[in-house]
Amino acid sequence: MAAGDAALIKKINRSLIINEIVKHEAISRANLSKVTKLTRATISAQVADLIEEQLVVEKEIEYNLVGRKPTMLSLNAEAGYALGIDLERNQLTFVVTDLLGSPVSVDVMRCDCTNYADTLRLLIAQISSYQQQYNGRRYGLIGIVISVHGLVSSDEMIHFIPRLDWHQAPLKQDLQAALGVEVHIDNNANLSAYAERVFVHHPTKNLISVSLYSGIGMGMIVNDQYFSGHDGFAGEIGHMIVVPAGKPCECGNQGCWEKYASETIVFEALSKLYPDQKLDYTFILQQVEQGDQRLADVMEQYIYYLTIGLNNVINIYNPDVVVLDSGLLRIYPDALNKIKAGLRSRISHYHGLYISELGRTSCTLGACAKSIQQFLDIPALSLPYHAALSLPAAAPEYTLSSSME
């Protein structure tokens, strides 16, 4: 066997072993041999290397029977840390997780500037502080992934961020030049879809996640891989026309889906009904509990247009799992059943329709998960669901003001 072939086989076996250790959280050498179908000698040699590299640790479990206590293998979650960043207008969110995706640090920074150079300086300063903080760990920061709410090309160039008015912004290149480390840029909807797959919907290989906040974006996992289109711009489903000659959209068309079924549109409608109120989820929940019919009418209209677009999405993509990411849907009574009732087409096929429990933090969790998968070099990643749940609740997502588009 050629040396190159032997090295490739060793790399494949290593990836297979790490993948099973992560999936099982704790597994013995004997069971690892069974599930991977690798010989015990191969398992022993590979595990010895992983322990020496401090990537895997051994733990004895409680054992009440006669004989030797079983020794279990687990990923050393504290060997390295992933940094996920959500770049929004007026706010930067930084989440650091360990190698099992459990958040260890969450920082939200108000950023009232939209200027590219100023934002770049803020990012460089904050990322540098994380590098210093985790420098003492075995692998330090194992990856940095930034979520942006706009078009990102396949070479990770920011093509356009509408709410920041950034065009052709070389954020990846500028950060790498300043920090001396690899940085990745991705669309927020893609990362949210990935988080749903990694933390919640482990078995599926085909998932669509629809984000319904300031606009509408869609992330797609097809055969356990991103589907991003020729240039990386796939998923701009918010600009699917659902009302011919309807409301004008910033994209240049009329009647786009996000002009009828995004949360921005709901809050704009509510601002006319409640002009003197601070509009946020807390207020809406209070009105729901009080049986406010005006609010109910707005929400029913929102769900009506949501189902129109969703019907199209399901018929086009025939997904296994569909996840809707919306704070409004999470608090509105019986929202999921109302949506399902509106999907009347007998040719629509999907196996599961869910409202996301990860919420606005899903894109940063997805960013961290993407770093972890790249670092571990495994084909598919499944992380414990409680890791996502340990993230603190996000700040109020909407306060209607002059800065809101």
Do the beta carbons of residue 364 and residue 85 sit within 8 Å?
yes
pLDDT bin (cut points 50, 70, 90) of residue 389 is very low
Whether 85 shows a pLDDT value over 80: the answer reads: yes
Max Cα separation, the chain? 77
pLDDT value at position 3?
56
pTM of the model: 0.87
Rounded to whole angstroms, the Cα distance separating 288 from 285 reads 5
Region 382-398: what's the mean pLDDT?
Answer: 54
DSSP 275: T
Rounded to whole angstroms, the Cα distance separating 40 from 32 reads 9
Region 316-331: what's the mean pLDDT?
Answer: 92
Whether 387 shows a pLDDT value over 70: the answer reads: no
Nearest to 258 by CA among 270, 248, 272, 273: 248
Instruction: Pick 3-75's CATH classification: 3.40.50.2300, 3.40.50.1820, 1.10.10.10, 3.30.365.10.
Output: 1.10.10.10
pLDDT value at position 68?
64
Region 273-302: what's the mean pLDDT?
Answer: 93
Region 250-278: what's the mean pLDDT?
Answer: 93
Rounded to whole angstroms, the Cα distance separating 84 from 346 reads 41
Rounded (to 5) percent helix, strand, coil in the chain: 45, 20, 35
Lowest mean pLDDT among 62-76, 136-150, 157-171, 318-332: 62-76
Nearest to 223 by CA among 209, 210, 207, 211: 207
pLDDT value at position 101?
93
Strands 166-169 and 158-161: antiparallel
Rounded to whole angstroms, the Cα distance separating 389 from 339 reads 25
Do the beta carbons of residue 172 and residue 157 sit within 8 Å?
yes
Instruction: Give the Å distances, CA to CA, from 307 to 16, 145, 253, 283, 312.
Output: 41, 32, 21, 25, 9
Lowest mean pLDDT among 44-58, 326-340, 350-364: 350-364
Read off the pLDDT of residues 26-74 as tens digits, 9 standing for 90 and up: 999 999 999 999 999 999 999 999 999 999 999 876 655 555 667 899 9
Whether 10 shows a pLDDT value over 80: the answer reads: yes
pLDDT value at position 234?
84
pLDDT value at position 195?
94
List the domain boundaries for the chain: 3-75, 78-192+361-388, 203-358
Rounded to whole angstroms, the Cα distance separating 356 from 354 reads 6
Tell me the two tokens of residue 370: 């993407």
The end-to-end CA distance of the chain, in Å, is: 63
Do the beta carbons of residue 61 and residue 122 sit within 8 Å?
no
Nearest to 76 by CA among 97, 95, 50: 50
pLDDT value at position 360?
77
Tell me the two tokens of residue 379: 């084909």
Whether 395 shows a pLDDT value over 50: the answer reads: no
Region 161-174: what's the mean pLDDT?
Answer: 91
Whether 270 shows a pLDDT value over 90: the answer reads: yes
353 or 405: which leads in pLDDT: 353
pLDDT bin (cut points 50, 70, 90) of residue 386 is low
| Residue labelled with tokens 């050498």 | 29
Domains 3-75 and 78-192+361-388 share a fold: no
pLDDT bin (cut points 50, 70, 90) of residue 325 is very high
Q: How many residues in the chain?
A: 405
Nearest to 55 by CA among 105, 99, 8: 99
Read off the pLDDT of residues 91-106 as tens digits, 9 standing for 90 and up: 899 999 999 999 999 9
Give the amino acid at 351: H
pLDDT value at position 236?
87
pLDDT value at position 392?
46
Tell me the two tokens of residue 100: 């099992």
Rounded to whole angstroms, the Cα distance separating 365 from 361 reads 6
Assign domain 203-358 to a CATH class. alpha beta
Q: Which CATH code for domain 78-192+361-388?
A: 3.30.420.40
pLDDT value at position 111?
81
Whether 393 shows a pLDDT value over 70: the answer reads: no
Do the beta carbons of residue 83 and residue 371 sit within 8 Å?
yes
